[in-house]
Amino acid sequence: MSEDPIERGLAEAFGGGGVQRPVASVLRALQARANSILGVHLDAQDDDDAQVKVTDEVKALRDPSGRYQILGEIGRGGVGIVYKGRDSDLGRDVAMKVLKDEYADRPDVLARFVEEAQIGGQLQHPGIVPVYELGLHAGERPYFAMKLVKGETLAAQLARRSDPAQDRRRLLGIFEQVCQTMAYAHARRVIHRDLKPTNVMIGAFGEVQVIDWGFAKVMPKGGVADETESLTRASERSVIETVRSAPGSGSNSVAGSVLGTPAYTSPEQANGDVERMDRRSDVFGLGAILCEILTGEAPYREADGDLVRQAAMGALDGALERLRKCGADPALVTLCTECLARARRARPESAAEVAERVSAYLTSVEERAREAELRAAEARYRHRTTLLSTGVGLVVVMLAAGAWIWNADQAETRRAEAMQRVAGAMSTASGARGQAQAAGLDAVRWAAAVSSAEQVVALTDSVDVDANARAEAESLLGRIRSESWDAEAEAQRLERDARMRERLVEVRIPIEDQLRVDGWEERESRRLDAEYASAFTEYLGGESLLEMSIESTLESMRLGDIEVELSTSLDHWFLTRQNLPDSGVLSYRTGTARIRELAMLLDPNEHWRSRLRDLLPDAYGAVAELRRLADEADFESLTPAGCHVLSEALCQAGDKPATVRVLRRAQELHPQDFDLCYGLAMHLELLPEPDWQGALDTYRIAHALKPEHKSALHRQGVALENLGRHADAEQVFRRGLARDPTDSHLMRHVGVALAAQGRSEAAMDFFQRALEAAPGEADSYKMIGAQFLEAGRFDEAIETYYSAIVLAPTLAVHHFNLGTALLEAGENEAAVQSLQRALELDPRYASAHANLGNALSNLNDMDRAAASYERALELGLEDSWIHFNLGNSLRRLGKPRKAAESFERAIECYARALEIQPNHARTHHNLGVTLEAVGRFEDAIESYRNALDADPQLGSSRRRLMRLEGADDLEEVLTGRREAESSDQWDVAVLIGCQAGRWAEVVTLTEETLSRSPELIDSGSSWGAYNPACAAALLAADSSSGTTADERARVRHLALTWLARESERWQVWIAEGGDRAALAGERLAQAASDPDFASVRDDALEELPAAERDAWEELWSEIGRARGEGRR
Amino acid sequence: MEVPHNPDVSWSLIARAAAGERGARSVFARGYLPVVRSFLEARWRSTRLAGEVDDAVQEVFIECLRENGVLSSADPERGDLRGLLYGVTRKVAARFEERVRKRHSRDQATGSMLDAVQAREPSLSIVFDREWARTLMRLTGDRMRANAEGGTPGARLRVELLRLRFAEGMPIRAIAAQWEQDPDAVHRAYAKARAEFKSCLREVVAEHAVRSEVDLDREVERVFELLG
């Protein structure tokens, strides 16, 4: 072979098999050596060549140099043409089946053609046309030469009859030979698969042959297949089309088909269940032939509708009715009816049995005929004797004397006859017993055997036989009954095991309606718990495993052959119950312990499984040992369920990567196991860094394995969503929804995909539809709440989340969502309560810790805020914002060293975020803020510049940059030595003043700027006069500053005026809608709870003069109303 | 970089096959039959399932082509036809093996024989991959022939050259002599034919799954390696 890979590829692409040379005449070659004419020529038989046609194709095929001379066409089949040919070497006529030219390039057809020849060549029986040779005619056309059978088909003979009863005896003789031929083929494990009258040839000398083995199949083990591997080595075989793969196809004998001929086809064959076809399918074909012999018609008639449909449905009522009325011997009708049974198991086992019964029938007919003849002779004799006796009185006397002797003889004769009948019946019953034993656990056969033996016993009761015969009959009946019960018990046991095995596989398949909606794990565990309980109860004959004694449970379980499967499933059941919250009920705990104990007792000796079992009660604490077990596991000896248990234990131990490794290996070894495939995909999602692409690919395989499993499709949508392919995700979910238009989960997912594409209204529509479809599902409220939250409609979001909590009060996520909405709405105390409730339900809820930190931070509870952020980080929520907020919290708590550490961590996180998304302006900005906090001003300046490069409109970065780069100018602006040149400059100067507590300067600067150039204050989306209002409120509250009460009142008035001014501006933003509306909502919330206004709010107002107090109260009330508007 | 996608093969064929078009079904089945058959033959060699290969092959294609079958849900955007076909083939094989196990649950010989099948799973996937690679080569040859039919006389000549070289086993010099051409010119034509073949193979491989150029180059190399 070439080492050049392209050459190898080209050889595959363009190389054909070796060129085969034509089969040349051996005779001609030998004649040259023999120097004489070789050959013997016998007298030819009388030929009837009337049916042989000499066509243009025949002329074209003639090859004078070849061994076979084609004389004419005899007939055509699906893939081949049968010619009459002459073997010039052996001087005989042959039939040559030549592959049709159009199939020359069809390797599948070619393979089947060769198979037909090989089967014919190897089956040596007078009832099968011998194949002489396989070759290539003229070097091109594959052919095989076989004996030329001269005669006609059984179909032709049947068609000639004017009455079905006509010629029946002779035809049954032919049928008997067909059965015997098929018995031989079956013994060689070959099944014909297209038995019908046209495939039975009756030769000129009465020889009967079964022809056309084009659809024949070699059954596994033994027979022809073992004698030569050539059949199984053929590189390419046919793709067999069946009724199932080609709906509506009613044609027969198409290329490469096992459709057979519908009028004679068994139900399994017509349904395309080719793997279920066996000898009994041929038995059906024999029944069909017999049916036509007896009734004159095939089992299915075109007059009754589509033949294929009739055959597929086994619509035999008409045929059975015709059989009942055909007038044939009941034994034949019964045999035919049994052969035509819809269920294979109800048919005779093989052609041999049919042959035997037909032979027995024909023999009995002959015997009956002979007996009838004997009876007639006896009657004639008695008649003559009577005449003599009336004439001779002496004879009368002699008769009287000998009468008792005659009577005694008669009794003896009757007893002998009875004994003979009993012996025959015993023999029949023994035969039935033998057949039942051979069939193994076939209940029908055993029932027949019992019935047969019962008939013998009944016979011994009704006739005059001796006691020994009766005892023998009863003994036989007892033995058969006992064996029948054993067989029945064994069959039941096997069936019970098989059912349980299938059930356990089904149990492991995750529920269909889960789409990782909240709480699905618990629901799944509860389902598994219930399903395992039910499966084991059924297996134990209706008794609960948790209530039976250990001993009797084990005894019952050990009756079967599936101890390993059972113990592995018990392990899984045990793990499942470990997943469920402990109900505290003692019986539940003892039940769980019982399950584990049973698993251990049932499978005590396998070391690896025992070690795994030991670790299951505390998988979390045994992670290292579990990993070792996984490394040592001999996966190839593990069942899918065993792999599942190991992966589940690792999952419970929290080692997700190891879980995935185990599942990946298991899935490679058991690619057909849906549960492992689906589980792998699920765990790829659950990795610390989810492998969404891997999950998507694996879900696709799972979907291919089990297309009806909804989640395997739906999870593809989820993976696509996470890969950012929202439009693709939407399409997948819509596909699922098309299959089940009432699926509320899918409606929500379509909504989520739409929302991700910015189609909020359409998304909301789907969420509402989901809510209508399933009003009891909290998830719809969750999604609607998220939409409200996104739109800044906080009150509606809060209300919606409350509804979710009412429906599912124990799910942490709903409390988290409510807390988040409250946080967004500025209701920090309520937010803290909700988030704490979420954490009570799920203490490892990292996002809830983070948001709790935000709420506490807003409430100035920095100590607890910092603790919450730290916990969120511990739980793996690596978000740069959390580092940043934690740093701020710690800084404000006066813990500079620790704060610096947090800032450094925040800087690292930002750097990582920027590696992923280098142009994210806010990240640059926040990095700058953090760098500034640790004194790295030059780096901060660079970060702000990067932020402004990414988003030139980012005012906060611009102002920060200005502050860092133009500190002197800003100081001059703040102290009033120069006028602000821009809105940003004014804003930053005010910010610096506020941060430094220089309230008086801020107030003065603001008063002057408002009088001189108010446009500087109102520009863009800046905070405007809000910070000066804060400064004024703080200045007025500071009685230690040495200012007078009047002065403080004046400054308070300024605070009131400026805050009112900003409040009005924000209300305009809300009225306008859009992004600024949300911003306005946030600012109103901040103002309402801002501690800077503590001296002019709530109880503090009592200290103020009435007019002033009223003005402030009116303002706060106005702000409250505006917030309400904003939420709506 | 995105690779241009020829919509007239593979996935569109699958779509038509999945929709029930008989011609497309037949083309699909014939195109990929050798892969399925080789895998099953290798898997069941010397087992009692050796005689079931035909029926199992049929089952595989029925699984693929039946209404709402595997192909109807295949996704050309992210499809990996090899993986799909491999999955279905193994699934069907497993189903047959399970049936035998059930039928002969107490036959130790059968059990161990089928266990041996499972033990050989990894090496069996190599059989599948090799036959898959051969199928891709054959499809590439078909494509080259189809292109040549509607192409220039030179293209047709190059295809004939490849046929003579690989089907008839003729050396280039002998071909040149038969054509009464300068051997160097025939060598150049052969080099061009090789390049065309590789280009066609890239197209065929791309249509069967791969999207990016880098992946494609890697996959083409892998396909050559798989030929063994």
Listed by start position, the domains of chain A span: 76-361, 423-487, 509-605, 884-965, 983-1128
The pLDDT confidence band at residue A385, using thresholds 50, 70 and 90, is low
Return the CA Rg of chain A. 48
How far, in Å, CA of A216 to CA of A198, rounded? 16
A740 CA to chain B: closest CA distance, Å? 15
The pLDDT value given to residue B122: 52
Classify the C-alpha dihedral A927-A928-A930-A936 as positive or negative.
positive
Is the predicted pLDDT of residue A859 greater than 90, yes or no? no
Mean pLDDT of A472-493: 82
The pLDDT confidence band at residue A563, using thresholds 50, 70 and 90, is confident
B67 CA to chain A: closest CA distance, Å? 9
> Inter-chain contact A705–B91, Cβ cutoff 8 Å?
yes
> Inter-chain contact B224–A8, Cβ cutoff 8 Å?
yes
Which helix (H) or strand (E) segment holds residue A58: the answer is helix A56-61
In terms of Cα–Cα distance, which of A271, A281, A673, A277 is closest to B66?
A271
Mean pLDDT of A931-950: 85
> Inter-chain contact B51–A8, Cβ cutoff 8 Å?
no
Region of A544 on the Ramachandran plot (φ > 0 left; ψ -120 to 50 alpha; else beta)? beta
Is the predicted pLDDT of residue B61 greater than 70, yes or no? yes
Is the predicted pLDDT of residue B134 greater than 60, yes or no? yes
Give A684-722 pLDDT, tens digit per residue: 988 888 899 999 999 988 888 888 888 888 889 989 988
A847 CA to chain B: closest CA distance, Å? 34
Contacts of B61 in chain A (CB under 8 A): 239, 245
Mean pLDDT of B125-141: 86
Identify whether the C-beta of residue A134 lies closer than 8 Å to the C-beta of residue A144.
Answer: yes
Give A863-876 pLDDT, tens digit per residue: 898 899 889 888 88
Lowest mean pLDDT among A58-67, A155-164, A1012-1021: A58-67
The pLDDT value given to residue B1: 28
Mean pLDDT of A92-118: 81
Mutate to test the interface with B, among A2, A102, A105, A245 (most CBs of B within 10 A): A245
- Amino acid identity for residue A486 in this structure: D
Neighbours of A1103 (CB within 10 A): 10
How far, in Å, CA of A435 to CA of A134, rounded? 40
A367 vs A657: which has the higher pLDDT: A657
Domain ranges of chain B: 1-119, 134-228
Is the predicted pLDDT of residue A195 greater than 60, yes or no? yes
The pLDDT value given to residue A895: 53
Return the CA Rg of chain B. 21
Q: Which of A9, A494, A672 lies at the smallest CB-CB distance from B91?
A: A672
The pLDDT confidence band at residue A585, using thresholds 50, 70 and 90, is low
> Inter-chain contact A15–B50, Cβ cutoff 8 Å?
no
Give A151's strand partners.
A203
How far, in Å, CA of A719 to CA of A667, rounded? 19
Mean pLDDT of A1056-1084: 83
Contacts of A275 in chain B (CB under 8 A): 52, 55-56, 59, 96, 99
A681 CA to chain B: closest CA distance, Å? 15
A654 CA to chain B: closest CA distance, Å? 29
> Inter-chain contact B33–A239, Cβ cutoff 8 Å?
yes
Q: What is the ipTM of this complex?
A: 0.80
Q: Which of A12, A233, A704 lies at the smallest CB-CB distance from B134?
A: A12
The pLDDT confidence band at residue A593, using thresholds 50, 70 and 90, is confident
Mutate to test the interface with B, among A2, A4, A6, A14 (most CBs of B within 10 A): A14
- Domain B134-228, what fold? Arc Repressor Mutant, subunit A (1.10.10)
Number of alpha carbons in the 13 Å side-chain half-sphere of residue A511: 17
Domains A76-361 and A884-965 in one fold = no
Give the pair of three-digit tokens for residue A1061: 């001014």
- Per cent of chain A over pLDDT 70 is 85
As a whole number, the mean pLDDT across chain A is 80
Contacts of B170 in chain A (CB under 8 A): none
Q: Locate the chain A residue with the closest alpha carbon to B123.
A: A669
Is the predicted pLDDT of residue A1128 greater than 70, yes or no? no
- Per cent of chain A over pLDDT 90 is 16
Give A785-838 pLDDT, tens digit per residue: 988 888 878 888 999 999 899 888 888 889 999 999 998 888 889 999 999 999
Contacts of A500 in chain B (CB under 8 A): none
The pLDDT value given to residue B162: 92
The pLDDT value given to residue B131: 85
Is the predicted pLDDT of residue A48 greater than 70, yes or no? no
Mean pLDDT of A186-204: 88
Number of alpha carbons in the 13 Å side-chain half-sphere of residue A1024: 21
Domains B1-119 and B134-228 in one fold = no
In terms of Cα–Cα distance, which of A81, A118, A130 is closest to A101?
A81
The pLDDT value given to residue A896: 53
Is the predicted pLDDT of residue A378 greater than 80, yes or no? no
Size of the A and B interface in Cβ pairs below 8 Å: 169
Identify whether the C-beta of residue A781 lies closer than 8 Å to the C-beta of residue A808.
Answer: no
Contacts of A233 in chain B (CB under 8 A): 41
Is the predicted pLDDT of residue A10 greater than 50, yes or no? yes
Contacts of B122 in chain A (CB under 8 A): 668
The pLDDT confidence band at residue A663, using thresholds 50, 70 and 90, is very high
In terms of Cα–Cα distance, which of A568, A548, A564 is closest to A556?
A548
Give A395's strand partners.
none
Neighbours of A616 (CB within 10 A): 20
The pLDDT confidence band at residue A257, using thresholds 50, 70 and 90, is very low
The pLDDT value given to residue B107: 45
How far, in Å, CA of A261 to CA of A274, rounded? 15
Give the pair of three-digit tokens for residue A1033: 């409120």
> Inter-chain contact B55–A703, Cβ cutoff 8 Å?
no
Mean pLDDT of A976-1002: 83
Neighbours of A82 (CB within 10 A): 19
The CATH architecture that domain A884-965 belongs to is Alpha Horseshoe (1.25)
Lowest mean pLDDT among A408-417, A457-466, A753-762: A408-417
The pLDDT value given to residue A373: 66
How far, in Å, CA of A591 to CA of A533, rounded? 11
The pLDDT value given to residue A25: 44
> Inter-chain contact A242–B58, Cβ cutoff 8 Å?
yes
The pLDDT value given to residue A1127: 60
Give the pair of three-digit tokens for residue A794: 């906080």
> Inter-chain contact A225–B50, Cβ cutoff 8 Å?
yes
Q: Locate the chain B residue with the closest alpha carbon to A736.
A: B73
> Inter-chain contact A707–B68, Cβ cutoff 8 Å?
yes
> Inter-chain contact A239–B49, Cβ cutoff 8 Å?
no
As a whole number, the mean pLDDT across chain B is 76
The pLDDT value given to residue A2: 58
The CATH architecture that domain B1-119 belongs to is Orthogonal Bundle (1.10)
The pLDDT value given to residue A65: 58
The pLDDT confidence band at residue A243, using thresholds 50, 70 and 90, is very low
Contacts of B138 in chain A (CB under 8 A): 12-13
Neighbours of A741 (CB within 10 A): 11
Q: Which of B57, B69, B75 lies at the smallest CB-CB distance from A239?
A: B57
Q: Which residues neighbour A575 within 8 Å (Cβ) at sequence distance 6 or greater?
A: A616, A619, A645, A648, A649, A652
The CATH architecture that domain A76-361 belongs to is Orthogonal Bundle (1.10)
Q: Which of B33, B122, B137 lies at the smallest CB-CB distance from A236?
A: B33
> Inter-chain contact B194–A669, Cβ cutoff 8 Å?
no
How far, in Å, CA of A378 to CA of A371, rounded? 10
The pLDDT value given to residue A991: 80
The pLDDT value given to residue A1058: 92
Mean pLDDT of A560-578: 87
> Inter-chain contact A218–B49, Cβ cutoff 8 Å?
no
- Amino acid identity for residue A599 in this structure: A
> Which of A18-22, A256-260, A755-759, B96-100 is modeled with the greatest confidence?
A755-759
Contacts of A240 in chain B (CB under 8 A): 54-55, 57-58
Q: Which of A240, A561, A697 lies at the smallest CB-CB distance from B54?
A: A240
Q: Which of B99, B105, B224 lies at the smallest CB-CB distance from A5?
A: B224
Mean pLDDT of A225-250: 33
How far, in Å, CA of B28 to CA of B6, rounded? 17
Is the predicted pLDDT of residue A984 greater than 60, yes or no? yes
Contacts of A636 in chain B (CB under 8 A): 118-119, 121
> Inter-chain contact A13–B166, Cβ cutoff 8 Å?
yes
Q: Which of A15, A240, A246 lies at the smallest CB-CB distance from B166?
A: A15
The pLDDT confidence band at residue A254, using thresholds 50, 70 and 90, is very low
The pLDDT confidence band at residue A252, using thresholds 50, 70 and 90, is very low
Q: Locate the chain A residue with the closest alpha carbon to B159.
A: A14
> Inter-chain contact A275–B29, Cβ cutoff 8 Å?
no
> Which of A592-596, A706-710, A857-861 is modeled with the greatest confidence?
A592-596
The pLDDT confidence band at residue A383, using thresholds 50, 70 and 90, is low
The pLDDT value given to residue A1103: 86
Catalytic residue numbers of A read 194
Mean pLDDT of A234-257: 34
Is the predicted pLDDT of residue A31 greater than 50, yes or no? no
Contacts of A695 in chain B (CB under 8 A): none
Is the predicted pLDDT of residue A284 greater than 90, yes or no? yes
The pLDDT value given to residue B2: 31
In terms of Cα–Cα distance, which of A315, A320, A338, A121 is closest to A231?
A121
Number of alpha carbons in the 13 Å side-chain half-sphere of residue A750: 24
A759 vs A52: which has the higher pLDDT: A759
8-state DSSP, A551 = H
